[in-house]
Chains A and B, each alone.
Chain A
Amino acid sequence: MMSENTWNLDPALESTAIVQLNTQYELYIDGKWQIPQSATYFPSVNPADESHLSQIAQANEADVDKAVKAARAAYQNVWSQLSGAERGKYLFRIARLMQEKSRELAVLETLDGGKPIRESRDIDIPLACNHFFYYAGWADKLEEAFPGQQMASLGVAAQITPWNFPLLMLAWKIAPALACGNTVVLKPAETTSLTALKFAEICQEAGLPAGVVNIVTGYGDTGAALVAHPDVDKIAFTGSTAVGKQIQRACIGTKKKLTLELGGKSANIILEDAPIDQAVEGVINAIFFNQGHVCCAGSRLFIQESIAHQVVEKLKFRLKSIYVGNPLDKNTDIGAINSKKQLETIHNYISVGLSEGAEMYQPDCKLPEKGYYCQPTLFLDVAQSSRIAQEEIFGPVLTVQTFRTIEEVIQKANNSPYGLAAGVWTANGARIFGLSSQLQAGVVWANTYNKFDPTSPFGGYKESGFGREGGRHGLSAYLQIKN
């Protein structure tokens, strides 16, 4: 059994009893739950078993207008009048309430989005809480952040978040916006709205003044209405490059400040002197973390030729012990794909890879009968020009290429319209700096991968977007800074 590297594990299911869900959620506007003027609701589905979780209000243009008006009034009358220290206190209070409810938020994130409970419990939710705690402390120190320059808040921030890290991305958006003195209207992704709605309850409980945070749920047209609203001063978007470009187009001729955190096709590079077992674990974490639904996923693996065979054999062996299944099971490594639509996209790319002639490897693993699941997948001997090596798949699919020289791998790694992240594995310290300084990427992980922290700026080069989230650099996305 061990030689096959498959393990029979008893299920270790996290209880869902802690989650209090309403059967229906309204829009959170001006500190109140408001019935949508659209009079329309859409279902939220658990991707792990296709069960129905709740009904969610779908905001139309009139609802969005109402939310922006509430945010504007709160900005003018309340939030911009408060001192930084007072704003900070609200954010600290929110951070503490989130910590208190962290288990409920973690289970709900897993139910709504399909990610393994280990990840939502140990990564998503703690990082989201910490992000609020971190930016809370900046609220009264903005003058110290950019010495010699003048700064002011922007006004109303429109924020659109993706479905891969729902509450964490909300925290990345709302915490710095509020710390810098702005009010917000946030639209969460339609498949994962529930933790954002829980967050609205936390805002109420924290006594946050009405209208400072507004949550409008809905599909792409809700987001488009928010982007197009003339009384919005700032737009922050995390999502696909295609939609990011539409948003940039919609901002032309306006004074809206824009930051975009978009797609990626990040290179993960293993040099021949790397500690191989650590590198293999790093590759697994780089591509299979959160089912590969990660904009900075290390989805292009480059292995130096002399060790390629050895690394690929170890990877194949390691893949056999990856547990794909119920996201609530604490043994699960790869949970459910977020939606049926995304599963179709991934399957489509897998057939593209096969038709392009790449060699595919998938371990034998039994997938649950209900729900949306995908095996971890390797494609070997992938051509640089291949679509699966060029386009973002956003799933547990890794392409493997080899290289001989450092110059060759720099050229191949940078030969992408994206520039979000990169990984480098080598025991040679000088080479780490030599290589990382030449990789066109906003984040470089050396001998590690997929690490995040509120103090660490995150964001891309080239078509992966512009602006940074996190750290001191993340403040400038929400301030007007003048000489």
Chain B
Amino acid sequence: MEILKTYKLYIGGQFPRTESGRTYPVRGANGNHVANACLGSRKDVRNAVQAARKAQSAWAVRSGFNRSQILYRIAEILEDRKAQFVSELISMGSSTADAQNEVQSSIDRCVYYAGWSDKYQALLSSVNPVATPHFNFSVPEAMGVVGVVSCQRTGLIGLISQILPVILGGNTIVVIANSDQPLGAISFAEVLATSDVPGGVVNILTGQIAELLPTLAGHMDVNALSLAYIDADLLKAAQEVAIDNLKRCSVYAEDFTLQTSQGLAFISTFQEIKTTWHPIEQLSGGGSGY
């Protein structure tokens, strides 16, 4: 007899069931019952934000090189479990060809962003030639905790395209997965858990966006939002509560399967720029400077 998989949440590196004890059925293209997913609650959102905040500063101070190695490890593990992701996408309604393409693009995207982890800093930074004798430089810095509503059109590539450019920049995140196709998200959490991504850096919830998003968008310890393909009213409500602590909101309507849906802009959107000044002592007739 086949052993069926229980899909749970991913919070702080653990796989808890929702504290609410609720599940909902995930259905395939012809309405067949594929599996049950956790119907996450507002309390789960708050727990996930707490886990993300706890993990953030330690993650941000890791070297770009180390984050790069971890992201490449994600690609390795994903490659290893390719067949599982393809079959999950098919079970949730994709054609075989689409599922294979999506998984392959997802692996490629992991490799792509792995390479960015120690390079975006050089491109987003500057040494600024101020007119006074000061050393003045600007560097990117992680915004902090980012709330994500992942792409509601794809089961894997959208999720990966929204997670990786955000975490490689030192942010930690709380993701609300695609409600209709949540299985890939939880399987991806298993990949993360075995890829040396520290617990709490990525937290993934399944459930209804209408129930979870207001809590995530209004949470005062979330710094930014990445929102893809959500209902206009829900988006408006989320943006309104996000104003309370001036969250940086990005709204995506991309086709994440395309090559153009990757790039430096997806990283820089979730970076602050910090500028530091320091006087330069003027030696030997004032010739010192940068």
B23–chain A nearest beta-carbon distance, Å: 34
A-B contact count (CB 8 A): 106
Determine whether A473 belongs to the interface, using a CB cutoff of 8 Å to chain B.
Answer: yes
What residues of B have a CB within 8 angstroms of the CB of A446 in the complex? 276-278
- What CA separation (Å) do A313 and B262 show in the bound complex? 57
- What CA separation (Å) do A336 and B239 show in the bound complex? 40
B231–chain A nearest beta-carbon distance, Å: 13
What residues of A have a CB within 8 angstroms of the CB of B210 in the complex? none
Q: Contacts A436-B276, A443-B274 known; A245 to B128 CB distance under 8 Å?
A: no
- What CA separation (Å) do A241 and B244 show in the bound complex? 10
Contact between B272 and A442, CB atoms less than 8 A apart: yes
What residues of B have a CB within 8 angstroms of the CB of A482 in the complex? 265
Partner-contacting stretch, out of B32-40, B84-92, B131-139, B175-183:
B131-139
What residues of B have a CB within 8 angstroms of the CB of A432 in the complex? 278
B127–chain A nearest beta-carbon distance, Å: 10
What residues of A have a CB within 8 angstroms of the CB of B260 in the complex? 483
Contact between A252 and B236, CB atoms less than 8 A apart: yes
Residue count of chain A within 8 Å CB distance of chain B:
43
Determine whether B196 belongs to the interface, using a CB cutoff of 8 Å to chain A.
Answer: no
What residues of A have a CB within 8 angstroms of the CB of B132 in the complex? 451, 453
Contact between A471 and B138, CB atoms less than 8 A apart: yes
B275–chain A nearest beta-carbon distance, Å: 5
Determine whether B194 belongs to the interface, using a CB cutoff of 8 Å to chain A.
Answer: no
Q: Contacts A148-B264, A461-B272 known; A456 to B128 CB distance under 8 Å?
A: yes
A407–chain B nearest beta-carbon distance, Å: 12
How would you classify the secondary structure of chain B's contact residues: helix, strand, loop or mixed?
Answer: mixed
Q: Contacts A245-B246, A249-B243, A448-B134 known; A457 to B128 CB distance under 8 Å?
A: yes
Q: How large is the interface on B (under 10, 10 to 19, 20 to 34, 35 or more residues)?
A: 35 or more
Determine whether B240 belongs to the interface, using a CB cutoff of 8 Å to chain A.
Answer: yes
Contact between A456 and B138, CB atoms less than 8 A apart: yes
Contact between A456 and B236, CB atoms less than 8 A apart: no
Complex interface bits, B102-135 against A, C-beta within 8 A gives 1, otherwise 0: 0000000000000000000000001011111010
Determine whether A481 belongs to the interface, using a CB cutoff of 8 Å to chain B.
Answer: yes
Residue from A442, A447, A468 within 8 A of B278 (CB atoms): A447
What residues of A have a CB within 8 angstroms of the CB of B134 in the complex? 448, 451
What residues of B have a CB within 8 angstroms of the CB of A455 in the complex? 128-131, 136
- What CA separation (Å) do A402 and B266 show in the bound complex? 41
Determine whether A445 belongs to the interface, using a CB cutoff of 8 Å to chain B.
Answer: yes
Residues of A within 8 A of B (CB): 130, 148-149, 241, 244-245, 248-249, 252-253, 260, 262, 417, 432, 436-437, 441-448, 451, 453, 455-459, 461-463, 465-466, 468, 471-473, 481-483
Please list the 3 inter-chain residue pairs (A to B) with the smallest Cβ-Cβ separation, ordered nearest first: A483-B263, A453-B130, A455-B128
